[in-house]
Amino acid sequence: MDLRRISFFLVAVIFLMGCAATGPPAPVDVNLRIDQAGTVQKVPKEPSVRKSMEVKNDEMEFHNCRVHKDTVYMTISSIGGWGTNGDKLWNDLQLIRLKGYKNLVVYLNSPGGAIYDGLAITDELRLLKEDGVYVEMHGRGIIASAAVTVYLIGDKRIASRNTIFMLHPMSITKWGQFSESMDDIESQARMIKLWNNSYTKIVADNSRISQDKAREFISKDTWISADEAKQYGFVDELK
């Protein structure tokens, strides 16, 4: 057998093996539609999306709340910084309004935190009450500093018998090296006075003590037992 015949034989074998390996083409599903005029039209298939390709839309999800039946449950610990701040709480309270919930239960065990966040949260809860939502506070452990006004703003304030309350003077914490003028110091003093006025007014408006008595409380570290807090009108019910 000469070389030409051998080459032709090899090519033929390879071609036949390729045909056998490829096999017939895979079937293709085509959706057709015939209209009233008898025209055949190809109907495009709906795009298929796997579960792994879906993107969760958490636009209407709570950040720090749980819901059971018609009641929303929220936990507040440290206020500001790494804890609960006014921005995150505002998102949750907006959802409470939008979804039509009328009852909010707040578990509060907090050493306090940033005064501006505390006042912001207090105002947000007050506005929520004005929109018809009933706010029930449950105090445990410690309710101190910026957490006091948050607790007092509730419609009903419940505390366990071992809950401790604490009010103290406002202060400013600073880091680093810097210089300040007399005007800077006077400006900071005015800011602290504004904080004190807002804080003591909220305490007086939501308890049985006067604003002067509240100012006396924040003139030093003032620790109050749960029984004393009930006498002062901080607490409605002890458990």
Could you tell me if 161 and 226 are in contact, meaning their C-beta atoms sit under 8 angstroms apart? Answer: yes
Tell me the C-alpha distance between 148 and 130, whole Å: 20
Specify burial of residue 76 (Cβ count, 10 A radius: 0-12, 13-18, 19+): buried
Q: Which residues contact 111 (CB under 8 A, 6 or more apart)?
A: 78, 142, 144, 145, 147
Q: Of 168, 171, 187, 219, which is the active-site residue?
A: 168
**Selection from 95, 62, 217, 219 nearest residue 149 by Cα:** 217
Handedness of CA 127, 112, 73, 138 (dihedral sign): negative
**Selection from 105, 106, 112, 104 nearest residue 142 by Cα:** 112
Could you tell me if 221 and 166 are in contact, meaning their C-beta atoms sit under 8 angstroms apart? Answer: yes
Q: Is 145 an annotated catalytic residue?
A: yes
71-76 and 65-68: which strand pairing? antiparallel
Could you tell me if 207 and 229 are in contact, meaning their C-beta atoms sit under 8 angstroms apart? Answer: no
Q: Which residues contact 230 (CB under 8 A, 6 or more apart)?
A: 159, 236, 238
Number of H helices, E strands in the chain: 7, 10
Q: Of 78, 110, 145, 207, which is the active-site residue?
A: 145
Q: Is 168 an annotated catalytic residue?
A: yes
Residues with a catalytic annotation lie at 145, 168
